[in-house]
Structure 1
């Protein structure tokens, strides 16, 4: 499996402006996103994918962020994917470049 770097996430202000309502910097998930050293963790994660061919792996922030939401909220795999789809601040937390009104991945991705 190959690993490809994903697009850079928008700033908090830019992410919220796409929604018409900015995300609050006081939101716990926004604050968590700022505390976690995503870039360093992403670098370590990339080392797990030495191949340059094959299907691309999901970004670390997306998978790890979804797992943190799942554990903190006590959700199933299906529920966390649905909640991420419906919650802009969760999408910001997992590093999506902008809000999307669709599932960011299938629930089975968390199993693999």
Structure 2
């Protein structure tokens, strides 16, 4: 399967499952090495480099992903829809570790001191 087809499948899956989040496929005005897909997933930044099975990111692409990781973004390389989903799930694990804020306590009728 072509990289383009894999990207399309991943983007379509994401839009169906997370219709209120932002996903962008980098197509035109992109700096060399920038990841193929960028997502704002419930406030988390996720960048994904898409590759055909058996292909690997260039040195520049690897450096860009490392730069994103060092800035506390989430990123990875996906060769399939399953790998794409795995990157999203790993990012969601950070959401589960986020402390509950005062606004959430108020919404459920409590306080920080409960």
TM-score (structure 1 length as normaliser): 0.29
Higher share in helix: 1
Greater C-alpha radius of gyration: 2
RCO (CA 8 Å, sep 6+): is it higher in 1 or 2? 1
Higher share in strand: 2
